[in-house]
Amino acid sequence: MAKIKISRTVWILSIVSLLTDIASEMLYPVMPVYLKSIGFSALLIGILEGFAEASAGFSKGYFGNLSDRLNKRVVFVRAGYFLSAISKPMLAAFTFPFWIFLSRGFDRLGKGIRTSARDSILSAESAPETKAKVFGLHRAMDTAGAMAGPVAALVFLYFYPDSFAPLFLIAFVPGISGVLLTYFLKDKSVEGPVSVSKKGFFSFLSYWKTSTNEYKRLVIGLLFFTLINSSDVFLLLLIKHIGYSNTEVIMVYIFYNFVYAAVSYPVGILADKLGLKNVFTVGLILFAVVYGGMAFEPSLPVIIILFAIYGIYAASTESVSKAWISNIVNKQDTATAIGFYTSLGSLFTLLASVIAGFLWSTFNPSVTFMVSAGGAVLCVLYFRMGRIDNVQKDSKLR
């Protein structure tokens, strides 16, 4: 087992993510309430959230491949965080649907530009046997911001109820602070030809032809799970639907992020020891438990327990899946490989959110959550039966 060493670059990226998530998560838990207040239906919210992810969709693949071809990472990281930062004050300007869609699209496009390049930097700053630790630390800091953001929002809304526009302006401050920190990052060259050298917005899709069977099996399983895993907005909407107050909705979300942040790094260490696939599939089981439990519209104490479990699920899957991908692909293709998966993942998220909104509006919320729980069980069977290693078999390619 390699010695755990966290580089300066990893710490900078982690702090940038912390600040950016403070900005984003100040708004995320209040967005469903805000959108409801300006006339958005559950179906339209689902379409908006799906559109927001789709905006990041193919851009993740394109900019990931462009990052590999240019052998540059930092410029994409900086530009992506900047777009997300300026999207916050945009929400304060107007409330009509087109502008809301545009603002959310800017935010997610920024994520699409930066994600693959940022994850490639994290991968390069770790060894295969310590990768989950590094990704876990980054996720812990990122989620700490996701916890601090709602706390700030809760305090603000306590003194200024329903004052959403000023909150959007305040969120710009930590966002732009994170952008300034990216100027302390420097690029490191990676030797070796990339698998996809063609130009064009959709050229990254050809990576599928050159990728290994192991990568394909992994991505197929991850995408199926994405299809049954709708936006967390629906979890928050359900709590509101049951009859709890806006404050209780935000407090539950804060608690979830507290658990998520607290366990992400330990779970990363555990994943490196026990195997990425083992920890990932346990996370899927926890997801099924949470969504199955929420389908029965439980009491607040049970909701709190389920959201604690949900935090452990998130820590067991989000960072682990990226560590898993980066461990089974060539180093010079890392951004393309992650970008390919996250691009299609965004498209599947769009479908998942639209499907969830449709099931919610056509039937009832319980159907939405039972379908997701059943799909997660199928995913567990797929991964347990599949032949997917935790690291690339030919270490010379690394």
DSSP string, 308-357: HHHHHHHHHHHHHHHHHHHHSS-GGGHHHHHHHHHHHHHHHHHHHHHHHH
Choose the most confident range, by mean pLDDT, from 238-242, 303-307, 382-386.
303-307
**Is the pLDDT at 395 greater than 70, yes or no?**
no
**Is the pLDDT at 29 greater than 70, yes or no?**
no
Higher pLDDT, 33 or 114: 114
Residue 1's CB is within 10 A of a number of other CB atoms, namely 9
Q: How would residue 392 be classed by pLDDT, with cut points 50, 70 and 90? A: low
The two structure tokens encoding residue 140:
């812990």
Write down the pLDDT at residue 390.
Answer: 61
**Is the pLDDT at 391 greater than 60, yes or no?**
no
CA 253/CA 175 separation, integer angstroms: 20
Tell me 93's DSSP state. T
Q: Percent of the chain beyond pLDDT 90?
A: 31
Q: What is the pTM of this model?
A: 0.79
Q: Please write the tens of the pLDDT for every residue from 258-285.
A: 899 899 999 999 998 888 999 999 999 9
Residue 273's CB is within 10 A of a number of other CB atoms, namely 13
Q: Please write the tens of the pLDDT for every residue from 43-74.
A: 777 777 767 766 667 788 888 888 888 888 99
CA 215/CA 219 separation, integer angstroms: 6
**Is the pLDDT at 32 greater than 80, yes or no?**
no
Mean pLDDT of 10-14: 94
Q: How would residue 155 be classed by pLDDT, with cut points 50, 70 and 90? A: confident
For 349, phi then psi, to 5°, come to: -65, -40
Domains of the chain are: 8-185+207-397 (1.20.1250.20)
Q: For the chain, first and last CA: distance in Å?
A: 17
Mean pLDDT of 124-140: 87
**Is the pLDDT at 178 greater than 90, yes or no?**
yes
**Is the pLDDT at 187 greater than 80, yes or no?**
yes
Let me know: does 388 contact 217? Beta carbons within 8 Å: yes
**Is the pLDDT at 207 greater than 70, yes or no?**
yes
Q: What is the mean pLDDT of the chain?
A: 85
Write down the pLDDT at residue 2.
Answer: 44
Residue type, 204: F
Q: How would residue 244 be classed by pLDDT, with cut points 50, 70 and 90? A: confident
CA 227/CA 163 separation, integer angstroms: 35
19 — alpha (psi -120 to 50), left (phi > 0) or beta? alpha
